[in-house]
Amino acid sequence: MSLSARDQEVIWHPYTQMKTAAPPIPIVRGEGALLFTETGEAYIDAVSSWWVNLHGHAHPYIAQKVAEQLRTLEHVIFAGFTHPAAVELAERLLQVLPKGQTKIFYSDNGSTAVEVALKMAIQFWHNHGIPKTRIIAFRNSYHGDTFGAMSISGRSTFTAPFQAYLFEVDFIDVPVPGHEQETLAQLEALLQQNDKAAFIYEPLVLGTAGMVMYSPEILDKLVALCRQHQVLTIADEVMTGFGRTGKIFASHYLSHTPDMVCLSKGLTGGTMALGVTSCSDQLYKAFLHDDKSKTFFHGHSYTANPVACAAGLASLDLLLQEQTQQRMARIGDMHRLFAKQIQNLPHVKEVRQQGTILALEFEAETTSYFNNLRDLLYNYALRQGLILRPLGNIIYCIPPYCITDEQLEQVYKTMEGMRLLVGSSQRG
């Protein structure tokens, strides 16, 4: 029995309608930007396997550091104990995070990093005896699939079955170009009420919303306004962190820094699950008290897993190398050149680019994850030897930094083919 057939006997896949989905493609090996099937076919991983892979698959340096850690210490309870990898990773992250971050809290993934930040923000005000409980977020944003993270994400078909269990949130429009003042006015109106605990945002790029982009200038104004009204700010850099936007963190484009930052995905270079929530000293000190009820009661069995921390340290080593920085700049330059070439061609509604992130929105009756173009574009990319996972009628490329010029050119050629495919499908 093939690996794919065996999979179908026992596995339920994420974001997949199992009744109608095609059999999963069995991947048995990875190298650089390529993934190989059991029959030897190669795919360019142009989406970094859900945006997590920074340096390429099966990177020998990360593998070496993980193996060394496994032979030394695989795990230890993190309540009352610590270990070198967790301490060193925290120290090094604080050196590169936006200024003002002083403490690192470990968890398991992006959703839990967000849950931690939400709980910290709400309990911060509770510990001070101030009744601030409401959260502000961008409309159509995405922060994870756990219940708190779902609550502050865009309400849609994905969250409909759980609507009754989600807490109320104050949503404001994304300040896309031409609508900045509307968003600013919406936030100003909400801040006149004194019940707002925090504002959480995906800085510069809303990933799952369709790689929706907005300027650092308007985000700076929104963060400054929150600070003026004593509302905490949370930068969800789970997707945008570790160089995706052209700087190590998207928050580095701003002069006003957040009170908390959420990290995951590229944190370990795509090697294994790990989440981080960093915070300012002001926030941390609100939990220091003789009254033990003011403790932050949150933790995970695998908090600060040493092997994951070792992967994080190795990935950070690679990320900060001059060679990696040059690769990121090269990808951004190539993206910009291609964007100029295709942006005014038929069937292209809009091209968006920030750093190593490139998105093409094709003309369609509706912009939706369930747009019929999705399967058409996805299968076309697979036939060209690429993994490109469309968000409805929006196709994007977020490649590993090791991707070659030739591989990127193949991505662009495929996107151009998609444009023609969209045109022919609309005529048909």
Catalytic residue check, 380? no
How far from 290 is each of 124, 131, 294, 295, CA to CA, in Å? 16, 21, 8, 9
Q: In the beta sheet, which residues pair with residue 172?
A: 138
φ, ψ of residue 43 to 5 degrees: the values are: -120, 135
Q: CA-to-CA distance for 229 and 208, rounded, in angstroms?
A: 29
Catalytic residue check, 19? no
Catalytic residue among 108, 170, 236, 259: 236
Q: CA-to-CA distance for 169 and 195, rounded, in angstroms?
A: 11
DSSP letters spanning 69-129: HHTT-S----SS---HHHHHHHHHHHHHSPTTEEEEEEESSHHHHHHHHHHHHHHHHHHTT
How far from 220 is each of 42, 91, 186, 240, 254, CA to CA, in Å? 43, 26, 15, 16, 6
Catalytic residue check, 236? yes
**Number of CB atoms found within 10 A of residue 334's CB:** 18
**What letters, b where the CB count within 10 A reaches 16 and e where it falls short, cover 303-322?**
bbbbbbbbbbbbbbbbbeee
Catalytic residue among 15, 285, 333, 340: 15
Catalytic residue among 170, 201, 265, 380: 265
CB 74 within 8 A of CB 308: no
Q: Which helix (H) or strand (E) holds 334?
A: helix 322-342
Q: Both tokens of residue 382?
A: 């697979």
CB 179 within 8 A of CB 145: no
Q: Both tokens of residue 285?
A: 């000190």
Catalytic residue among 43, 106, 142, 412: 142
Among the listed residues 220, 234, 157, 144, the one whose alpha carbon sits nearest the alpha carbon of residue 183: 220
Give the pairing of strands 134-138 and 348-354: unpaired
Q: Which helix (H) or strand (E) holds 277?
A: strand 275-280
Catalytic residue check, 142? yes
Catalytically active residues are 15, 142, 236, 265
